[in-house]
Amino acid sequence: MKIKGRFFLSMFLLSLAAFIHILVRLVPLPMRTNTISLGLYCLVIVFWMEKNRQMILHRQVMTNLSYIAYLLIGYLFIRTLKYEFVLSGSSLDRYLWYGYYIILIAIGVFLFFSVLYIDKAGQEKVSPSWNMLFLLLFIFSLLFISNDFHQLIFTFPQGLSKWADVDYGYGPGFYLMVLYCGAIVLGTFFIASKKTLDSRNAKNIFLIFLVPVIWGLYTYLYLIKARAFYWFFVAFKSPEFNCLITISYVESLIYNRLMPVNLDYGRFWHGSSLDVGIMNRSGVLYANNKDWDFSPSLIRKAASHPVLVSKDCLLQSARVSNGYTYWLEDLSFINAIKDRLRDFGDLLAEENELLKAENRLQRDQASLRDQLEICAFIENALEDKFLALEYSLRDLPDREEDFIQAMRLPTIINVYIKRYANMLLLGKKSRLVDIDELRLAIFESFRYLNIFNIMTDFLCQGQARISLDKILLAYETFEDILEKNIFTMEAVFLSISLQGDFLVFAMEIDNPDSRTFRGTRLEDGDLTLDQLIEEGSLFVRAKIFLGSDFYDY
């Protein structure tokens, strides 16, 4: 139900409650008017509470007003229970009477805290020292509940059994409670008045005092029993009128915009000069600019990335509660600046292109020199292998089996040239090469051996960066042994490992070429090579001293 509908329904319910009170006073009817009034007023208070939940933007203020609504319902419930269902003068009747005061004090405290949040941001809190008011509220509540034992609030000189028949007195706690309530009421009025004077609604300051004046006038006329207002007192009994005064005072604060509410958004929307539109979850569009005609799917798409709807217009949107908001970004000014910069930058662009072309030419010349140097370096280092490759490819036999056999050596040499050159390039700057490069080179040679039906097995243990000279020495040693036995070998097994300052590899070749076997031990600088032929297999163990020319990681 909309807010206006709840308001008119609340007015009807209040009028109905007043009419029932007057009707029962004129015509004795068998009905409990306080009970009926309780139900009608509870509906009004619930409508008011729901209206606040829809309008109040500050969460803590909304919570405080909800507590006030619950307390008002409890206030009317106690009144109904006391006068309709509980025996007058009983102990329960006395405790319900105490409850009146507890609820009224609590309403004042929550109303004061609602006023404290005036001008506070949504997540801003009030000072924790104000929570002392809740502690005092708790203390006074305990004093009221236990008054029968200490009589610090109300005194009963004739005893509790005759409390309803004779006059009762007031203890020191009662006067402290009056001071406490007076401070809360004055504080509420002072803060609300000051904030109103500081706002744009200073002309409505009279509303802050109008409601308390009406309540004071009602109380005065009620106490003197003014006969001219008899039927008004019948229609609106004191507890019911107190509830209406509380609600009216809160509404006066809302009307003066002391509490943040979502009122007049429609008027603000239509009066705004912002070119902004909104779309609800059903895809219904609202926009001040009637020329805007965008599909809901396009607006949803623009939430993830802007959509260019024309040369000078960029559609953007964002998710909001229960829908989307969308707007157009004018790119005409930016495009005009781009055009001017493009015109002014033509000459600079031409000069930049000339400079870039000159720089590219210099870089290309330097790169060409580097490539020529690298090619000359590789050619000198692998000159003997190029010659061996050229020699091995001469006069290849026509018979397929002989051709395959003859291609063993050039295939292995070709792999060696490629991998050797790659290691030279990698070690040209840092002079250190990862042992994985040696492992990959050997693995590729073994892969080609498998094509010629030669069994292979390879194990490489350890991770290190080794100097270029030492890793090339290891690769040359491996290649030399492989080439000498390439035409006869049937299987080859190799294991490489790092042992202290040495790179060690053990190699076994089945059916080696004994014609190429030269001695059992060879020492050449950092290389120590042991060879042994036994039972048709060649066993090779090589150790290369690394010293400090490697980095183990």
DSSP per position, 5-72: HHHHHHHHHHHHHHHHHHHHHHS--SS-HHHHHHHHHHHHHHHHHHHHHHHB--HHHHHHHHHHHHHH
Average confidence (pLDDT) over 544-551: 72
Q: Is the pLDDT of residue 106 over 90?
A: yes
Of residues 177 and 388, more confidently modeled: 177
Nearest CA to 478 out of 405, 529, 552 is that of 529
d(CA 244, CA 236): 9
d(CA 68, CA 62): 10
Q: Is the pLDDT of residue 163 over 70?
A: yes
Average confidence (pLDDT) over 484-508: 89
Amino acid at 372: L
Instruction: Look at residue 540 and give its three-state secondary structure.
Output: strand
d(CA 383, CA 387): 6
Which of 251-260, 365-374, 458-467 comes out lowest in average pLDDT?
365-374
Average confidence (pLDDT) over 426-433: 78
Of residues 182 and 387, more confidently modeled: 182
Please give the structure tokens belonging to residue 57.
């933007």
Q: Model confidence at 191, in pLDDT bands (50, 70, 90)? A: confident
Nearest CA to 89 out of 26, 166, 201, 184 is that of 166
Nearest CA to 459 out of 497, 490, 431, 423 is that of 497
- Name the CA radius of gyration of the chain, rounded: 50
Percent of the chain with pLDDT over 90: 15
Task: Tell the residue number behind the tokens 């001071």, with chain if given.
Answer: 179
Q: Alpha helix (H) ranges present in 117-204?
A: 132-145, 147-150, 172-198
Average confidence (pLDDT) over 43-70: 88
The per-residue pLDDT of the chain, averaged, comes to 83
Average confidence (pLDDT) over 476-499: 89
Which of 290-299, 317-326, 540-549 comes out lowest in average pLDDT?
290-299
Average confidence (pLDDT) over 91-110: 91
141 with 127: CB under 8 angstroms? no
- pLDDT given at position 549: 60
Which of 323-327, 352-356, 538-542 comes out lowest in average pLDDT?
352-356
Strand partners, 529: 522, 542
Q: Model confidence at 455, in pLDDT bands (50, 70, 90)? A: very high
Give the distance from CA 362 to its chain's centroid.
51
Consecutive H or E run containing 82: none
d(CA 385, CA 366): 29
305 φ/ψ sector (left φ>0, alpha ψ -120 to 50, else beta): beta
Go through 146-174 and write b for each residue having 16 or more CB atoms within 10 A of its CB, e for each that does not. Answer: ebeeebbbbebeeeeeebeeeebeebebb
d(CA 269, CA 3): 19
Instruction: Look at residue 503 and give its three-state secondary structure.
Output: strand
pLDDT per residue over 256-294, tens digit each?
777 777 665 555 555 555 667 788 777 777 676 666 777
Q: Is the pLDDT of residue 356 over 70?
A: yes
209-215, long-range: CB < 8 A, 24+ apart: 210/252, 211/245, 211/248, 211/249, 211/252, 212/249, 214/245, 214/248, 215/241, 215/242, 215/245
Average confidence (pLDDT) over 452-476: 87
Question: Cα angle vertex 414, ends 412, 418, to 5°?
Answer: 120
Instruction: Look at residue 309 and give its three-state secondary structure.
Output: strand
- pLDDT given at position 107: 93
Average confidence (pLDDT) over 249-262: 79
Cα–Cα distances (Å) from 6 to 41, 54, 232, in that order, read: 13, 12, 24
d(CA 249, CA 272): 31
- pLDDT given at position 122: 67
Q: Model confidence at 41, in pLDDT bands (50, 70, 90)? A: very high
- pLDDT given at position 184: 92
Contacts of 283 (CB under 8 A, 6+ apart): 296
Which of 125-139, 203-217, 354-368, 501-515 comes out lowest in average pLDDT?
354-368
Question: Cα angle vertex 437, ends 435, 440, to 5°?
Answer: 115
- pLDDT given at position 347: 66
d(CA 449, CA 252): 97
d(CA 222, CA 90): 26
- pLDDT given at position 45: 92
Q: Is the pLDDT of residue 366 over 80?
A: no
- pLDDT given at position 1: 58
Within the chain, how many helices (H) and strands (E) appear?
19, 16
d(CA 18, CA 40): 10
Strand partners, 434: 465
